[in-house]
């Protein structure tokens, strides 16, 4: 969430920057500033009214003490009117604050200066590519056919138990999945991240804190009776661990990692491009989250990108990195790099990770601050990345490592799963 003071200070700059997102902020910024002026003037009137009422209450006590009952009763009538006035002002203030907050919730983050303008994913900028695309033998299969052939993932059984998008991993498929999770976590902890086991449901405050609410409410599974939400990513509970915290400079950097299942309704997602593991309602992911001071956050983002590069290099999967354009940038992000692995059998790129710097956007919602060297309270910068999301990594491994005699297992995973081939 943007800060009103920053909107007032950088209004024209922000309007120009948000045009990269194809978002016209002119009118909404005027509404924000008008509501903020109303809020401040109402607060000032309320403070004056309460001060006058308190002063009169003290005078009334003295007058009664001195036997001046008539004057005391006259002042009591005035304080009654002031109390009624303060009640009305308080209600107006609360309504104005709520209107201002709800309006701010609709404004996306300001994109970083390096974000290219663009309308959609077609305008994203490729910034890096590594790995040779393997040449597969004639008759090579996509992963959903391989899963059936080797009986390692059962999509029909998942559909029977729950519905489409909830696969059942079996035998060597389940063991390979577990191996990936453990290896990703080990690599993260080796890099200095502290591992957490996290709740799979969060409350509404947590959803608002990291920006999933109200922006992506329709994409989240809502447990209505308890007003809880199944997490779309570990980022939500992990970042919310620090909600309402006041930190100091010596606390930084904060590095967290965790594995969770993730749940996404993915409403409106249909067609061949979402077949098999390409898009699921439930999937596994290892997440990395960092809290940084503003001056260090972009160096930290580069470090996170390098960490994910290292994972893919060790898995020997061909991949590329895209800098997302304004039209494809997530609502809360200032800058995002997407990692995509090449699926040789499908002959297309599959997104497997997003690494983002949110700058102060989430921290402002979270009320997450720190004291700087001058003892001023400043907002923290938050960052997160998938390291990695498993379904499409697994799809890439199955498809790119397939041979006429089975599917090879990436060398780094063999000690974790206990076999070197699926056949």
Is 384 annotated as belonging to a binding site?
Answer: yes
**Residue 245 assigned as binding residue:** no
Distance CA 298, CA 335 (A): 9
Q: Is 356 known to sit in a ligand binding site?
A: no
| Domains annotated on the chain, with CATH | 4-104 (1.10.287), 121-422 (3.30.930.10)
> What's the rounded Cα separation, in Å, for the pair 109 and 359?
9
pLDDT of residue 267: 58
Task: Please tell me the pTM assigned to this model.
Answer: 0.93
Q: 54 falls in which pLDDT band (50, 70, 90)? A: confident
Task: Say how many C-beta atoms besides its own lie within 10 A of residue 190's C-beta.
Answer: 9
For the chain, how many helices (H) and strands (E)?
13, 19
The answer to whether the CB of 194 falls within 8 A of the CB of 287 is no
Model confidence at 273, pLDDT cuts 50, 70, 90, reads low
Binding residue per annotation — 125? Answer: no
**The two structure tokens encoding residue 144:** 């959903």
Q: How far is CA 281 from the centre of its chain?
A: 17
pLDDT digits (tens, 9 = 90+) for 304-324: 999 999 999 999 999 999 999
Q: At what angle do helices 11-18 and 26-65 cross, to 10 degrees?
A: 140
Please tell me the distance from the alpha carbon of residue 254 to that of residue 193, in angstroms, as a whole number: 8
Provide the pLDDT for residue 289. Answer: 98
pLDDT for residue 272: 55
Confidence of residue 365 (pLDDT cuts 50, 70, 90): very high
Averaged over 360-368, what is the pLDDT?
A: 98
Q: Over the stretch 101-145, which tens digit does the pLDDT of each residue have?
A: 999 999 999 999 999 999 999 999 999 999 999 888 888 999 999
SS3 assignment, position 276:
coil
296 is in an annotated binding site: no
Per-residue confidence at 269, pLDDT binned at 50, 70, 90? low
For residue 200, with 0-12 CB atoms within 10 Å meaning exposed, 13-18 middle and 19 or more buried, which class applies? middle
Which pLDDT belongs to residue 274? 76
Question: Is the Cβ–Cβ distance between 52 and 82 less than 8 Å?
Answer: yes
Whole-Å CA distances, 402 to 152, 301, 331: 14, 34, 38
When the pLDDT of each residue in the chain is averaged and rounded to a whole number, the result is: 94
Q: Band of the pLDDT at 76, cuts 50, 70, 90?
A: confident
233 belongs to an annotated ligand binding site = yes
Average pLDDT over every residue of 8-29:
98
Residue 184: strand, helix, or coil: helix
- Give the C-alpha separation, 415 to 139, whole Å: 30
Confidence of residue 71 (pLDDT cuts 50, 70, 90): confident
Banded model confidence at residue 342, pLDDT cuts 50, 70, 90: very high
Strand bridging mode 348-359 / 369-371: unpaired
DSSP codes, 279-309? S-SEEEEEEEEEEE-GGGHHHHHHHHHHHHH
Three-state DSSP state, 278: coil
pLDDT confidence of residue 259: 98
* Residue 33: per-residue pLDDT: 98
**Residue 55, both tokens:** 């002063």
287 labeled part of a ligand binding site: yes
Q: How far apart are CA 216 and CA 213, in angstroms?
A: 6
Residue 351 assigned as binding residue? yes
352 is in an annotated binding site: yes
pLDDT at 68: 73
């Amino acid at each position: 969430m943007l800060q009103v003071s920053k909107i007032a200070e950088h209004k024209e700059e922000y309007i120009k920057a948000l045009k990269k997102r194809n978002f016209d902020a002119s009118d909404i910024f005027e509404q924000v500033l008008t509501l903020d002026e109303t809020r401040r003037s109402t607060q000032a009137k309320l403070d004056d009214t309460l001060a006058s009422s308190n002063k009169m209450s003290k005078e009334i006590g003295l007058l009664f003490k001195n036997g001046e009952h008539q004057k005391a009763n006259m002042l009591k009538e005035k304080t009654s009117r002031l109390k009624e006035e303060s009640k009305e002002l308080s209600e107006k203030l609360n309504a104005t604050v709520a209107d201002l907050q709800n309006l701010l919730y609709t404004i996306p983050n300001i994109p970083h200066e390096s974000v290219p303008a663009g309308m959609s994913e077609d305008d994203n900028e490729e910034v890096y590519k590594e790995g040779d695309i393997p040449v597969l033998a004639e008759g090579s299969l996509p992963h959903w056919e391989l899963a059936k052939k080797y009986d390692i993932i059962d999509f029909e059984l998942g559909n029977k138990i729950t519905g489409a998008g909830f696969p059942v991993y079996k035998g060597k498929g389940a063991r390979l999945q577990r191996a990936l999770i453990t290896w990703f976590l080990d690599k993260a902890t080796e890099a200095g991240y502290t591992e957490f086991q996290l709740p799979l449901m969060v409350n509404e405050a947590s959803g608002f804190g990291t920006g999933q609410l109200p922006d992506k409410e329709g994409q989240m599974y809502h447990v209505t009776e308890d007003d809880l939400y199944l997490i779309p990513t570990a980022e939500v509970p992990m970042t919310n661990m620090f909600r309402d915290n006041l930190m100091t400079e010596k606390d930084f950097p904060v590095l967290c990692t965790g594995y969770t299942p993730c749940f996404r309704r993915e409403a409106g997602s249909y067609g061949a491009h979402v077949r098999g593991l390409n898009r699921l309602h439930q999937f596994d992911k290892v997440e990395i989250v960092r809290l940084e001071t503003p001056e260090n956050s972009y160096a930290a983002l580069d470090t996170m990108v390098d960490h994910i590069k290292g994972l893919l290099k060790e898995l020997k999967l061909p991949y590329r990195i895209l800098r997302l354009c304004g039209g494809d940038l997530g609502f809360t992000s200032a800058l995002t790099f997407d990692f995509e692995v090449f699926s040789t059998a499908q002959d297309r790129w599959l997104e497997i990770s997003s690494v983002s710097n949110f700058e102060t956007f989430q921290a402002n919602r979270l009320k997450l601050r720190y004291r700087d060297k001058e003892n001023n309270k400043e907002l923290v910068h938050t960052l997160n990345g998938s390291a990695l999301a498993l379904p499409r990594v697994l799809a890439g491994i199955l498809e790119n490592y397939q041979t006429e005699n089975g599917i090879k297992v990436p060398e780094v995973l063999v000690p974790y799963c206990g076999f070197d081939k699926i056949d």
